[in-house]
Amino acid sequence: MSSTTTGTRPFLEVKDLTVRFETDDGIVQAVSNSSFAVERGKTLGIVGESGSGKSVTSLAVLGLHRTRSNAKVAGEIWLDDQELVTATDEDVRKLRGGKMAMIFQDPLSAMHPYYTVGAQIVEGYRVHHKGVSKKEARTRTIDMLARVGIPQPEKRFNEYGHQFSGGMRQRAMIAMALVNDPQLLIADEPTTALDVTVQAQILDLIRDLQDEFGSAVIMITHDLGVVAELADDVLVMYGGKIIERGPAADVFHEPQHPYTWGLLGSMPRLDRDVRDRLTPVKGTPPSLINLPDGCAFHPRCPYAGRNGNRSFTEVPELRGGVHAVACHLPAEEKRRIFHEEVAPNL
């Protein structure tokens, strides 16, 4: 996860990504100064609540803000040694759906209701494979539908999105995303709308396909359980900033940011005894138009002000090596608070 410029670049490297939207109510600071990297074959989990900037980050990687005149994207996005923020629309369009693809949360609204599922996948394939005949594309699509576990793919090819069940529709979405063998796959809450048993099937499928194709995966979710299942590395976002970043085992076992503690404290867990009370973060997330001064989390942080007034005035930098955290509390004190005050209540 280092961002050194010497040697080869990671497969995907995002540096100081900032995304702003100008609206009538003011400037929305959707993502501020975010840096991270993902290697081939690895999975990065991005966790956060609504409005934390996790989806905007992924849309920026795909260049989907380009058509929105009120969006301002700054920073660098390197995909396989190609810079995307300054690239032309045409160049990004060639990559999108080809080298990088996305699985959306709501497969019903992500599919076109007028075209059959098969036709939509064929279209995506032929855009990136010029000169391929319709028949070949059809064969490829049916293969893909079978690969993601859709029974009777020849028949399902001619059906519409609404004729699929939720789980099957999500599988079809995955087939659509994978038809061009993407090397970067971004999944934005791919299982949130699904039942747990179907969720388990889909996560399994994503894991298998990643093993097979060696793609880099970015998994965006609010569910810490899903992240723990799949991710090698984890980013925790709050108020448009990365507040904690590190290998999954470190972030789950030695979380360092008070917000991460709050997220873990909010979850009842089946692998532990029942707690008398959950220990969530107090209050509500900030508005991205009016972010609090200093650390964006300070109004909800039980430890703000422990070290003078820095939390109220100074934005904490994301500091640390492999496991980095943006918090003014000294590392020693964080460790002590986590082990003595937080961990016993999880």
Partner 1 sequence: MTDNLLEVSGLKMHFPITKGVFKRKVGAVRAVDGIDLAVKKGETLGLVGESGCGKSTTGRLMTRILEPTEGKVLFDGRDVSHVGQAGLRPLRRDVQMIFQDPYSSLNPRHTVGSIISAPLQIQNIPTPNGLKSAVQDLLKLVGLNPEHYNRYPHEFSGGQRQRIGIARALALRPKLIVADEPVSALDVSIQAQVVNLLDDLQREFDLTYVFIAHDLSVVRHISDRVAVMYLGRVVEIADREQLYKNPRHPYTVALMSAVPVPDPARRERAQRNRVLLTGDVPSPINPPSGCRFRTRCWKAQDICATEDPALIPRLEDPASHQTACHFPVTEDEVVAGRRPAGAQA
Residues that bind partner 1 (CB under 8 A): 49-50, 165-168, 195-201, 203-204, 222-229, 231, 248-249, 252-253, 262-271, 274-275, 277-282, 284-285
How many Cα atoms are found within 13 Å in the side-chain-facing hemisphere of 110? Answer: 20
Angle 342-345-336 from CA coordinates, rounded to 5° = 25
- Check: CB of residue 231 under 8 Å from CB of residue 245: no
What's 70's DSSP letter?
T
CA dist., res. 313 & res. 295, Å (int): 7
Q: How far is the CB of 19 from partner 1 (least distance, A)?
A: 21
Segment (H or E) for 188:
strand 184-188
Instruction: Pull the structure tokens for residue 53.
Output: 């900037």
Cβ closer to partner 1: 265 or 302?
Answer: 265
Q: Which 8-state DSSP code applies to residue 106? A: -
Toward partner 1, which CB reaches closer, 26 or 283? 283
Q: How far is the CB of 308 from partner 1 (least distance, A)?
A: 27
Q: How far is the CB of 147 from partner 1 (least distance, A)?
A: 16
Q: Which is nearer to partner 1, 74 or 193 (CB)?
A: 193
- Rounded distance, CA 251 to CA 325, Å? 10
Secondary structure E strands in 190-321: 216-221, 233-238, 241-247
Tokens 């064929």: give the residue: 122
Distances (CA, A) of 234 to 37, 48, 160, 191, 225: 11, 11, 36, 18, 12
* Length reported for the chain: 346
Provide the minimum distance between the beta carbon of 257 and partner 1 in the complex, in angstroms, as a whole number: 13
Nearest approach, Cβ of residue 221 and partner 1 (Å): 10
Q: Given the complex with partner 1, which of 66 and 300 has the nearer CB atom?
A: 300
Diameter over CA atoms, the chain: 69
Would you give the DSSP letter of residue 231? -
Pairing of strands 26-38, 43-47: unpaired
When the beta carbons of 19 and 264 are compared against partner 1, the nearer one is: 264
Count of Cβ atoms closer than 10 Å to residue 155 Cβ? 12
Closer CB to partner 1, 157 or 261, in the complex: 261
Q: Looking at beta carbons only, is 157 or 297 nearer to partner 1?
A: 297
Half-sphere exposure of 164 (CA within 13 A, CB side): 30
Q: In angstroms, give the least distance from the CB of 272 to partner 1.
A: 9
Strand order in the sheet with 71-79: 26-38, 12-23, 71-79, 82-83
Min separation Cβ 211 and partner 1, Å:
13
Closer residue to partner 1 (CB): 51 or 63: 51
Q: Please state the closest distance from residue 43 (CB atom) to partner 1, in A.
A: 11
And the tokens for 10?
């990671």
**Can you say how many angstroms the Cα of residue 142 is from the centroid of all Cα atoms in its chain?**
28
- Which C-beta is closer to partner 1: that of 225 or that of 320? 225
In angstroms, what is the minimal distance from the CB of 318 to partner 1? 21
